[in-house]
Amino acid sequence: MTLSEENTVSTPLGIIMNGVTGRMGYRQHLVRSILAIRDSGGLELSDGRRIVPRPILVGRNERKLADLAAQHGVEHWTTDLDEALRDDSAPIYFDAQVTQAREKAIKAAIAAGKHVYTEKPTAESLDGALDLARLATEAGVKNGVVHDKLYLPGLVKLKRLIDGGFFGRILSVRGEFGYWVFEGDWQEAQRPSWNYRKEDGGGIVVDMFCHWSYVLENLFGRPEAVTAKAVTHIPTRIDEHGQRYTATADDAAYGIFELPGGVVAQINSSWAVRVFRDELVEFQVDGTEGSAVAGLRECRIQHRATTPKPVWNPDLPVTERFRDQWQVVPDNADLDNGFRAQWEQFLRHVLEDAPHPYDFLAGARGVQVAELGLRSSEEGRRIEIPEVTV
Ligand SMILES: NC(=O)c1ccc[n+]([C@@H]2O[C@H](COP(=O)([O-])OP(=O)(O)OC[C@H]3O[C@@H](n4cnc5c(N)ncnc54)[C@H](O)[C@@H]3O)[C@@H](O)[C@H]2O)c1
């Protein structure tokens, strides 16, 4: 065998995947990432080796796992996490379980010497999240957390504008996230019921503030203070079994985040809002030289030179079509599925030590922003966000 033939040999890589019967675990991580990498012949490393993921599915329901495995040509599945963790051919553990089940499972994976990649939030409390970061560091295992919003084409374009100096001095950011989640009575809810029960790890602050934490940090700088108001607009909902339950978790949060350089970010997150926007999340950034509105996919800009001069006069009808005065930012690149791109980045981190800044400490910063956001709401005050270390 020649050297080049040797280099194209495919090497299987066992990845223990827990929680793949869930929404995120199945669609984004198993199907669109790991199986997509497997089915395209594997991930090519810089030395030419091809790594082919071999998922080992872990979950609570034998039948669901067996069906999933059969449907997707996956050989290994188990309901016994410890058994999976004993598999030496699988150096990576992945967790997309409900948030509440995560910390314990990740601790077991670290103890078994696995590298760990996980959905967010990494834990339910900052102490728990920092504990995981410390344990992973001490064990010397690679660790990573999902940070998918940074890969949204709209935010990729926004980042490009920032890096290119389009905005001049950035003044403010306003984010609008949300849509109506049905209560479950006359139309089925489109999100699992645990999201609306605090005791089960639910709540929009816990869910979304960790996203806003890394989005703000990577685009504008680490949030330094938070002021938030979290509320439960819909007090009762109907669960998957048709039973009415009390929504104990917040379903909307109105937050102000103070960023370096006096930039103020104000982000509304809500599962009790009807969409009158172009996309389910949108961020408007205003700067001295120009402004942009970025959504999941699109990004529009208005430069200082093309900014109209509206005059406030409620006695006159609107004379301008404000939305038409913005220019579309082109893609200028192939923007692949973000979950797959993150998986590839993490696999390279494990296999060839490529950089991966989104580690458990970054995840802990997200949990911290959520925790302090909730505290701000409870205490009705602004709270500074101290820097955390392992
Ligand atoms: N990155 C993102 O954009 C994003 C979006 C939604 C959810 N998430 C995160 O992904 C995780 C899973 O969310 P989801 O919406 O896929 O949830 P889901 O309810 O659809 O899936 C939960 C998974 O956890 C498993 N599980 C383990 N223990 C459980 C228990 N005690 N009760 C219920 N299920 C249990 C389920 O079997 C299932 O596989 C959460 O931590 C959530 O915060 C991330």
Q: Residues 149-167: pLDDT tens digits? A: 999 999 999 999 999 999 9
d(CA 135, CA 285): 38
Model pLDDT, residue 23: 93
Same domain? For 190 and 271 the reply is yes
DSSP letter at 240 equals T
Does a structural domain hold residue 20?
Answer: yes
Which residues fall within 8 angstroms of residue 154, CB to CB, at 6 or more apart? 279, 294, 295, 296, 297, 298, 299
Nearest CA to ligand 1 atom 34: 98
Query: Per-residue pLDDT for 2 more than 80?
Result: no
Task: Check residue 90 and give its pLDDT.
Answer: 98
Residue-level length of the chain: 390
- Residue 3's pLDDT is 41
Same domain, 14 and 91: yes
Are residues 155 and 39 both part of a single domain? no
* Antiparallel, parallel or unpaired: β 225-231 and 252-258: antiparallel
Structure tokens at 343: 């998986």
- Whether 230 and 296 map to the same domain: the answer is yes
Q: Is the dihedral of CA 234, 97, 122, 222 positive or negative?
A: negative
Tell whether the model's pLDDT for residue 1 goes beyond 60.
Answer: no
Per cent of the chain over pLDDT 70 is: 98
- For residue 66, give the nearest of 12, 22, 21 by alpha carbon: 21
Whether the predicted pLDDT of 258 surpasses 80 = yes
Considering the domain architecture, whether residues 330 and 191 belong to the same structural domain is answered as yes
**Does residue 237 share a domain with residue 138?**
no
Task: Say if residue 277 is in the same domain as residue 184.
Answer: yes
2: Cα within 13 Å, side-chain hemisphere: 2
Position 53, amino acid: P
pLDDT over 90, % of the chain: 95
CA 24 to centroid of ligand 1, rounded, Å? 7
Ligand 1, atom 4: closest residue by C-alpha: 24
Is 21 domain-assigned? yes
What residue's CA is closest to ligand 1, atom 3?
A: 148
Q: Is pLDDT at 5 greater than 80 in this prediction?
A: no
Same domain, 319 and 263: yes
Is 90 exceeded by the pLDDT of residue 325?
Answer: yes
To test the pocket of ligand 1, the residue of 97, 177, 197, 239 to mutate (highest count of ligand atoms within 8 Å of its CB) is 97
Pocket of ligand 1 (CB under 6 A): 19, 21-25, 59-60, 96-99, 101, 119-120, 146, 148, 192, 194, 207
**In terms of residue numbers, what domain contains 127?**
3-147+339-357
Q: What is the mean pLDDT of residues 13-26?
A: 97
Q: Taking Cα atoms as reference points, which of 374, 381, 370, 372 lies closest to residue 212? A: 370
Check whether 16 has a pLDDT greater than 60. Answer: yes
Mean pLDDT of the 298-324 span: 94
Question: Ligand 1 pocket check: which of 24, 209, 367 to mutate, most ligand atoms within 8 Å of Cβ?
Answer: 24
Q: Is 109 among the domain residues?
A: yes
In-domain check, residue 390: no
* CATH at residue 158: 3.30.360.10
**Is the pLDDT at 308 greater than 50, yes or no?**
yes
Report whether pLDDT(189) > 80. yes
DSSP state at residue 121: P
Confidence at residue 334, expressed as pLDDT on a 0 to 100 scale = 87
What mean pLDDT do residues 205-230 have? 97
Half-sphere exposure of residue 117: CA atoms within 13 angstroms, side-chain side: 27
Distance 226 CA to ligand 1 centre (A): 27
Instruction: Summarize the confidence of residues 188-196 as an average pLDDT.
Output: 96
Mean pLDDT of 264-268: 98
* pLDDT exceeds cutoff 70 at 60: yes
Q: Which amino acid is at 228?
A: A
- Does 62 have pLDDT greater than 80? yes
362 located within any domain: no
Q: 184 and 270 share a domain?
A: yes
Question: Are 67 and 164 found together in one domain?
Answer: no
Q: Is 190 within 8 Å of 236 (Cβ atoms)?
A: no
Q: What's the structural domain count of the chain?
A: 2
Average pLDDT over residues 72-100: 97
What pLDDT was estimated at residue 8?
A: 61
What's the pLDDT score for residue 17?
98
Q: Which ligand 1 atom minimizes the distance to the CA of 206? A: 43
Q: Are 294 and 155 in contact (CB under 8 A)?
A: yes
- Give the three-class secondary structure for 73: coil
The pLDDT assigned to 187 comes to: 96
In a domain, 388, yes or no: no
CATH value at residue 29: 3.40.50.720
What's the pLDDT score for residue 278? 96
Terminal alpha carbon distance of the chain = 47
**Do 247 and 107 lie in a common domain?**
no
Residues 221 and 260 occupy one common structural domain: yes
Is residue 171 a part of any domain in this protein? yes
Q: Whose CA is nearest to atom 26 of ligand 1?
A: 97
Does 14 fall in a domain?
yes
User: Which residues, in sequence order, are bridge partners of residue 179?
Assistant: none
Give the pLDDT of residue 6. Answer: 47
pLDDT category at 319 given cuts 50, 70, 90 is confident
The answer on pLDDT for 261 being more than 50 is: yes
Mean confidence (pLDDT) of the chain: 96
- The pLDDT of residue 316 is 92
**Residue 220 scores a pLDDT above 80:** yes
pLDDT tens track for 165-181: 999 999 999 999 999 99
d(Cα 244, Cα 229) in Å, to the nearest integer?
A: 26
Q: How high is the pLDDT of residue 352?
A: 97
**Average pLDDT, stretch 295-323?**
94
Q: How far is the CA of 231 from the centre of ligand 1 (A)?
A: 22
